[in-house]
Structure 1
Amino acid sequence: MTRATHDQIPEAALAWHRAGAGAALATVVETWGSAPRPAGSQLAISGTGDMVGSVSGGCVEGAVVTEALEALTDRTPRLLTFGVSDETAFAAGLACGGTIRILVEPVGDGATALPEPILADLVTARAAARAAALVTTLATWTRQLVTPGQDAAVDARLKSDRSGMEEDGRFIAVHNPPLRLIVVGAVHIAQPLLTIARECGYACTLIDPRAAFGSSERFPGETLLDDWPDEALASLAPDARTAIVTLTHDPKLDDPAIHAALKSPAFYLGCLGSKKTHAKRLDRLTAAGFTPEENARIHAPVGLDIGAKSPAEIAVSIMAQITQTLRA
């Protein structure tokens, strides 16, 4: 298989299994206290000990890999608990002060193993950017891939983007489509911003009708649209998992994008420019009929105030503010 990225964990497990190497999936199902990784975090382990992903940021991966290799031998899933009062957890390195519960499942054959067809269906849904949840009843090891509209508890977790245990003993592992970042303006700040956003798991699109700016030479491998910003945003249909950033400094380009963004459910809208520039922008938006409440959605000057100077530092401040807005 090709080298998997940090967010292709089910894909890695399926590929290893189909290649005959064997595979197990480890998933954080519950956390208490200062746990290093949230519920839903995953680690794929091959039969030869290769790993993709993380369930603890490195604290207990060694112990989890050992259990995963044993699960591949006995074909039986298990639940592991690591916490500050557990000497085994201390030996494994869980020094953060929290407690985590991890489900380890062999893929493939076995009455209680994770069936290959269910994992394959999950990978297919992820490839098509379709929301889905893998629901596991821990008491019976039964599993079901559930899509929106089939289960109220699943719908609630998909909406909140939070995997976790239900009171009925089911663990719901959320697999939403990637978050999206739409950047208007193929300027120098956009280059590091797109790179950082991709590392944070965002699917990125860059909009700029100016051919000299939005060229594949300046942005190799990026998704580039040369449409007028409002037309491009109409086709992209931003949703509640979308962040939008305008960077052109040109009202002829930024303003149509801002109008479209304010009419969308995008969770973040950030606009480059000084306080003076933003004040003029607000005047134009008010004249165009936007309310103070709508205008208040704009983060401007864009980015957290960390004293950023260089394009890369400004990109870091923007991505930090996007993350803050998403997670808050």
Structure 2
Amino acid sequence: MQDHEQMPETALAWHREGRGAVLATVIETWGSAPRPVGGQLVISGDAELQGSVSGGCVEGAVVAEAIDALDDGKARVLEFGVADEEAFAVGLACGGRIRVMVEPIGGAMPEAMLAELVEARAARRPVAYCVNTQTWQRQLLDRDDPKVADRFRMDRSGIEEDGETFVAIHNPPLRMMIVGAVHIAQPLVAMARLAGYDPTLVDPREAFGSDARFPGETILHEWPDEALQQIGLDARTAVVTLTHDPKLDDPAIKVALASEAFYLGCLGSTRTHAKRVARLTEAGLTEEQIARIHAPVGLDIGGKSPAEIAVSVMAQITQTLRKG
């Protein structure tokens, strides 16, 4: 989940309930600041809190400013650092500094813009919230806008080179679809979760995709192509096929290649992949489409065990996500 988690949704709900709502967002950090850029806190009119901008050390000061912002409807930027006596009082004397943007909903930040942001997040549509902290002009940009394309790829919110414009990247949560509940899938699911992905296993063979082998995981027993079509694959989804069985892997590969999935990796040797390419070509897929497949799956790190192979797969997925 993103650093901002469900804070925009909470702020919109509280505002519409008449409770008042202020969004506080970390826009810059230096040194030992405990929360990253993009971290958010929502404050209601009666000082109820959800989220965090500092792990607790500046929340009190931010809440006080948020209540004032609800009264006057104005946004403001707060800075806490070692040179600021107030910063020592709230616990940043170890060298950390942060800047926090405070925006009252329905005042400085229009309800309609927040609603549009929340709608985009619900639809898994990547969106960037851009605000000039001097003029307080705001706009929402999509991931194809060249001004923010690199930020989307790196999941990097922050201040632009002009020193005034803050860009909050709202990427959908990352997902990983794993076709084939085989031995390699066990460490891969665990690693995917650690890396911030929401993994789903797809295997119609219930003996493979069992709760006993994958406790607590989401397991779909439909045919892979049907499952992937039902879920829908977007630009924040990685697909890995592991079954070695063309009856299961090939239909899933075709669905993935027809989607915006940012990664498709397929288990199998070079010889196995050559046969796969021949089948896909005969089925009408183009050379350009087939070239999107990472096979043999994973970076060549010499991995032998299932866990080592899972490491190589996770590394290649990360490389593709971050470097394109």
- Fold conserved (TM > 0.5)? yes
Amino acid corresponding to residue 227 of structure 1 in structure 2: W
Structure 1 residue 130 displacement after superposition:
1.2
Q: Does 1:78 align with 2:76?
A: yes
Q: Name 1:226's counterpart in structure 2.
A: 222
Structure 1 residue 72 displacement after superposition:
2.0
How many correspondences in the alignment? 303
Structure 1 residue 28 displacement after superposition:
1.4
- 1:29 to 1:253, Cα distance in 2 relative to 1, 3 A: farther
C-alpha contact (below 8 Å) 1:268/1:298 kept by paired residues: no
Question: Any residues of structure 2 matched to 1:208-287 within 5 Å, and which?
Answer: 208-214=203-209, 222=218, 224=220, 226-228=222-224, 232=227, 241-245=236-240, 256=250, 281-285=269-273
Q: Name 2:158's counterpart in structure 1.
A: 164
Structure 1 residue 134 displacement after superposition:
1.5
Q: Does 1:65 align with 2:63?
A: yes
Listed one character per residue, the Cα deviations across residues 108-130 of structure 1 (whole Å, up to 9, x for unaligned) are 1x3xx211111111111111111
Separation of aligned partners in 2, 1:68 and 1:260: 51
- 1:226 to 1:27, Cα distance in 2 relative to 1, 3 A: same
Question: Any residues of structure 2 matched to 1:299-318 within 5 Å, and which?
Answer: none
TM-score under structure 2 length normalisation: 0.71
Listed one character per residue, the Cα deviations across residues 47-99 of structure 1 (whole Å, up to 9, x for unaligned) are 23332222223342333223222322332221111223333223222366332
Unaligned 5+ runs, structure 1:
272-277, 309-313
Q: Secondary structure at the match of 2:56?
A: coil
Q: Secondary structure at the match of 1:37?
A: coil
Amino acid corresponding to residue 146 of structure 2 in structure 1: A
Q: Name 1:114's counterpart in structure 2.
A: 109
Moved more, 116-125 or 40-49: 40-49
Separation of aligned partners in 1, 2:141 and 2:230: 28
Q: Name 1:153's counterpart in structure 2.
A: 147
Listed one character per residue, the Cα deviations across residues 202-221 of structure 1 (whole Å, up to 9, x for unaligned) are 44432111144547998789
Listed one character per residue, the Cα deviations across residues 294-323 of structure 1 (whole Å, up to 9, x for unaligned) are 4475158999x9x98xxxxx99x7998689
For 2:14, which of 16, 26, 47 is the aligned residue? 16
Separation of aligned partners in 1, 2:183 and 2:132: 49
TM-score under structure 1 length normalisation: 0.70
- 1:13 to 1:72, Cα distance in 2 relative to 1, 3 A: same
- 1:232 to 1:147, Cα distance in 2 relative to 1, 3 A: same
Q: Name 2:281's counterpart in structure 1.
A: none
Unaligned 5+ runs, structure 2:
278-289
- 1:193 to 1:120, Cα distance in 2 relative to 1, 3 A: farther
Q: Does 1:25 align with 2:23?
A: yes
Separation of aligned partners in 2, 1:124 and 1:116: 12
Separation of aligned partners in 2, 1:236 and 1:215: 20
Separation of aligned partners in 2, 1:51 and 1:302: 49
Separation of aligned partners in 2, 1:92 and 1:141: 27
Separation of aligned partners in 2, 1:192 and 1:47: 46
C-alpha contact (below 8 Å) 2:26/2:53 kept by paired residues: yes
Structure 1 residue 22 displacement after superposition:
1.1
Separation of aligned partners in 2, 1:99 and 1:163: 17
Listed one character per residue, the Cα deviations across residues 142-177 of structure 1 (whole Å, up to 9, x for unaligned) are 22223345x431334333322222234222211122
Q: Secondary structure at the match of 2:64?
A: helix
C-alpha contact (below 8 Å) 2:238/2:317 kept by paired residues: no
Separation of aligned partners in 2, 1:255 and 1:323: 18
Q: Name 1:42's counterpart in structure 2.
A: 40
- 1:133 to 1:40, Cα distance in 2 relative to 1, 3 A: same
Separation of aligned partners in 1, 2:156 and 2:300: 29
Q: Name 2:202's counterpart in structure 1.
A: 207
C-alpha contact (below 8 Å) 1:28/1:38 kept by paired residues: yes
Separation of aligned partners in 2, 1:211 and 1:223: 9
Question: Any residues of structure 2 matched to 1:134-145 within 5 Å, and which?
Answer: 134-145=129-140
- 1:192 to 1:97, Cα distance in 2 relative to 1, 3 A: farther
Q: Does 1:183 align with 2:178?
A: yes
Amino acid corresponding to residue 228 of structure 1 in structure 2: P
